[in-house]
C-alpha cells in the first residue's frame, strides 16, 4: 500500500489535488443550480391521469390487435391460416 501512495503522490502532487477539489466543487455547484432550474421549469407541466371506459368485448373486435394475436375472430383465423400455408408453400 505504501508503494502505491508514493506513486500516486509522484503522479499527482498536492497542488493538483487542490485544483481537482476546487473543480469538483464548482461542478457540483453548477449541477445543483441546473437541477434547481430544471425542477422549476418542470413545474409548468401538469400530468393528467387519462382514463378510458372499459370495453368488455375488446378482444373480440375485428380489428383489435389482441384479437389478431389470439385469433379470436374469423378474420384473424383465416389470415393466420393463409400466412401459415403461404409460408409452407414457399
What is the reported pLDDT for 31? Answer: 95
Residue 15 banded pLDDT, cuts 50, 70, 90: low
Q: Tell whether the model's pLDDT for residue 32 goes beyond 70.
A: yes
The mean pLDDT value for 56-77 works out to 74
End-to-end, the C-alpha distance of the chain in Å comes to 69
The mean pLDDT value for 32-41 works out to 90
Q: How far is 82 from 78, CA to CA, in rounded Å?
A: 6
What is the reported pLDDT for 81? Answer: 85
Amino acid at each position: 500500500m505504501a508503494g502505491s501512495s508514493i506513486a500516486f503522490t509522484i503522479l499527482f502532487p498536492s497542488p493538483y489535488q487542490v485544483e481537482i477539489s476546487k473543480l469538483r466543487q464548482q461542478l457540483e455547484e453548477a449541477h445543483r443550480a441546473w437541477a434547481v432550474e430544471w425542477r422549476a421549469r418542470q413545474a409548468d407541466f401538469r400530468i393528467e391521469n387519462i382514463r378510458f371506459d372499459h370495453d368488455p368485448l375488446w378482444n373480440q373486435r375485428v380489428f383489435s390487435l389482441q384479437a389478431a394475436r389470439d385469433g379470436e375472430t374469423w378474420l384473424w383465423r383465416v389470415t393466420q391460416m393463409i400466412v401459415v400455408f403461404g409460408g409452407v408453400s414457399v
